[in-house]
Structure 1
């Protein structure tokens, strides 16, 4: 969990401006810190240099865009993240160990390697099957208390248990548990996934770790099944439904809204909410 609020603030700035030219000086100034002090604090909190973090996110978010938007050229995707055609190709291959063209050729197939269960392959349903389970909804804004993590999704269960126990006094009948995810674990190293775990609170909450998650139009896929099957189900939505849906994912990030959790039975009912335009 991030303990330094300024590092979390810096990450907000970075993810909101990822398709801009972001310098270390820009981020440090946004946090009202000197460049050199900020670099030390950021590296201590995340284990990455600020430059390396920005570059990694650009490479990974550009790969997600390539996966989700079939009709956008590789050159245009590279330009979106500040690269010329040749520079983007070499930077992408250095980071992902595959060329952009080969990456695009191999995504959106009916199966994919499973990053959490190495001996298993994730297999997907047809577009029509996913389409029958997805609704387009307008969601309200959510005011939440939250904690931010940079790590492995396999730690989610432990992190949620600690988070809910710590904040049990704020639970109400209408309280929602929400995970906001920034990365795709089929693209990002599983130990470097960025995510927020959140709990809705009253708008008058005096707590410090409060933010508003922007609502709007979302494609909502309802999942009712076992926790180990979440990756396969959600990757099917991103690999099969999203690129063929006629929608594009916008600049907001995805949400998992938990409706029911039975940790003993490893069963969960949840909504995968993809922001679309």
Structure 2
């Protein structure tokens, strides 16, 4: 868990400016520290240097866009992250061990290997089947207590148990439990996935680790099933539904809103929410 709130602020800054030429000094300045001091703090919390973190996110977020923005050229996507065509291809291949063109050609629209359960091969539903379970909704902003983690999604259950126990006195009848995910574990190493676990609270809450999750328009898929099946549902929404829906994902990140949890049987009802324009 990332416990330094300034590091969390710097990650938010990087996410919001990923399509710009961000320097280490820019990140330090946003937190009012010298780049040398803040670089040490950042690496101690995240395990990566600021430069490596920025470069990795550019490669992984651009790979996600190659997958879902099929009508946008590879050159334009690379340019959005500050790369010339030849440089983007070189850096992408070094990071992913495959060229951007090969990556895009290899996107599978019928099934997916599960990165958390490598022996599992799961098949996607049809566009029509996903579309029947998706509604377009507009959410207000969410004011939340949050904890940010870098690591394997398989640890989510234990992290949620610790989180809800720690903040049990803040629960009310209207409390929502929300996950905000930043990475696709079929692209990002499972040990480097970044995610927030959150619970809604009153805006008068004076804890340090509170933030606002921006609302807006979302495509909402009602998922009912076992926790291990959530990854496959998300992949199907991105690879099948979003690519053919006519909607575009915007700069916000996906949310999972829990509606019911059966921990004993590892079964949940939740809304998988994809931000759209």
* TM-score class, shorter: over 0.9
Kept in 2, the 8 Å contact 1:89–1:99? The answer is yes
User: What is residue 272 of structure 2 aligned with on the other side?
Assistant: 272
Q: Which runs of 5+ in 2 are unaligned?
A: none
Kept in 2, the 8 Å contact 1:67–1:108? The answer is no
Q: Which runs of 5+ in 1 are unaligned?
A: none
The whole-number CA distance in structure 1 between the counterparts of 2:208 and 2:50 is: 25
The whole-number CA distance in structure 2 between the counterparts of 1:204 and 1:49 is: 35
Residues 231-255 of structure 1: CA distance to partner in whole angstroms, max 9, x if unpaired? 1111111111111111111011110
**In the alignment, is residue 248 of structure 1 matched against residue 248 of structure 2?**
yes
The whole-number CA distance in structure 2 between the counterparts of 1:53 and 1:223 is: 32
Residues 13-42 of structure 1: CA distance to partner in whole angstroms, max 9, x if unpaired? 000110011000000000100111111111
Kept in 2, the 8 Å contact 1:108–1:240? The answer is no
The whole-number CA distance in structure 2 between the counterparts of 1:228 and 1:274 is: 19
User: What is residue 155 of structure 1 aligned with on the other side?
Assistant: 155
User: What is residue 231 of structure 1 aligned with on the other side?
Assistant: 231
How large is the RMSD of aligned CA atoms in angstroms?
A: 0.7
The whole-number CA distance in structure 1 between the counterparts of 2:214 and 2:108 is: 28
Give the number of equivalent residue pairs: 277
User: What is residue 24 of structure 2 aligned with on the other side?
Assistant: 24
User: What is residue 204 of structure 1 aligned with on the other side?
Assistant: 204
Of 76-85 and 115-124, more deviation after overlay is shown by 115-124
Q: Secondary structure at the match of 2:28?
A: helix
Give the superposition deviation at 1:122: 2.1
User: What is residue 137 of structure 1 aligned with on the other side?
Assistant: 137
Give the superposition deviation at 1:97: 0.7
The whole-number CA distance in structure 1 between the counterparts of 2:70 and 2:137 is: 24
User: What is residue 4 of structure 1 aligned with on the other side?
Assistant: 4
Spell out the pairing of 1:45-84 with structure 2 (5 A cutoff): 45-84=45-84
The whole-number CA distance in structure 2 between the counterparts of 1:187 and 1:169 is: 37
TM-score (norm 2): 0.99
The whole-number CA distance in structure 2 between the counterparts of 1:92 and 1:122 is: 27
Residues 104-158 of structure 1: CA distance to partner in whole angstroms, max 9, x if unpaired? 0111421122101111112101111101110000011100000000111000000
Q: Secondary structure at the match of 2:148?
A: strand
User: What is residue 124 of structure 1 aligned with on the other side?
Assistant: 124
Residues 30-84 of structure 1: CA distance to partner in whole angstroms, max 9, x if unpaired? 0100111111111111110110000000000000111111100000000000000
The whole-number CA distance in structure 2 between the counterparts of 1:160 and 1:81 is: 34
The whole-number CA distance in structure 2 between the counterparts of 1:110 and 1:61 is: 22
TM-score (norm 1): 0.99
User: What is residue 104 of structure 1 aligned with on the other side?
Assistant: 104
User: What is residue 15 of structure 2 aligned with on the other side?
Assistant: 15
